[in-house]
Amino acid sequence: MFSKKSLLSSVDWKKEKGIILVRAFFLPQSLHLFVILFWFGALFPLYYVIKMEANQRAGQIVNDFSKKATLLVPLIFVAGIILSIILMDGPDFLSHPYDLILLSKIAIFSILMLIAALNKFRLGPDLELGKPNAARNLQSALVIEILLIFIIVGATTVLTGLFSPTLT
């Protein structure tokens, strides 16, 4: 019989553990990326819809997008937490640059959620009602969202390129 310690330290276990972690990583990573692409991919077209369409029609389109985004965008956070649990090394949280950069991504994502809520509950309805400056305000909010997403993508590049934890 093998002891638990010898089994866990074997090369075969490490290889198997890596395969299990890669498989566990696939679904949340796919969900994370799909929803990010849905959200980010809609921001540029929304900006131009607001610019080109009448306020009421643009407001309807923004509100339709907001309904879908309200269901999907929180999944970015859920999938991100699952990915973090898979990748994190345990109780040494905040002792590595990876952890600090991850926290900055979470903070920026929280700001994005606040802007998205503002868009959904204030700026989108203002646009649909034809309030003065509503189009300009919503376009400005979309530009800020786009810039913050670029910052998150940059942070992700640093995380994966320089500080990424190993799966084995």
Residue-level pLDDT at 159: 82
Query: Can you tell me whether residue 133 is helix, strand or coil?
Result: coil
DSSP 8-state symbol, 94: T
Q: How far is CA 125 from CA 59, 90, 96, 151, in A?
A: 6, 44, 43, 28
Percent share of the chain, pLDDT over 90: 60
Residue-level pLDDT at 9: 44
The model's pLDDT over 93-129, given as tens digits with 9 standing for 90+, comes to 667 787 888 889 999 999 999 999 999 999 999 999 9
The 10 Å Cβ neighbour count of residue 44 is 11
The model's pLDDT over 55-99, given as tens digits with 9 standing for 90+, comes to 999 999 999 999 999 999 999 999 988 888 777 766 566 677 878
Mean pLDDT over 15-20 rounds to: 58
Output the six-digit token pair for 137.
Answer: 């305000």
Average pLDDT over the chain, rounded to whole? 83
Alpha-helix runs per DSSP H in 53-161: 55-72, 74-87, 97-118, 124-129, 134-158
